[in-house]
Amino acid sequence: MTLFEELKARDLIAQTTHEDEIRDLLDNHNITFYIGFDPTADSLHVGHFLQLVVMDGG
């Protein structure tokens, strides 16, 4: 299963534009991104967890 398929299976992608281009980017290229929260903070919540799930990609 590709990364794009995994994210769709987890219902993390509901709708998008340019799906073919996004699928190619996720499945065939290295992607660098930044998640801007402090993992040691006391105020982490489920929204932060979702970012980590997507970052893991499977």
pLDDT value at 57 more than 70? no
In this prediction, residue 58 has a pLDDT band, given cuts at 50, 70 and 90, of: low
CB atoms within 10 A of CB 35: 10
Residue-wise pLDDT for 1-35, tens only, equals 888 898 899 888 888 999 999 999 988 998 887 88
What's the pLDDT at 21?
A: 94
**Which pLDDT value is given to residue 18?**
95
Q: Where along the chain do its domains lie?
A: 3-56
| Averaged pLDDT, 37-48 | 80
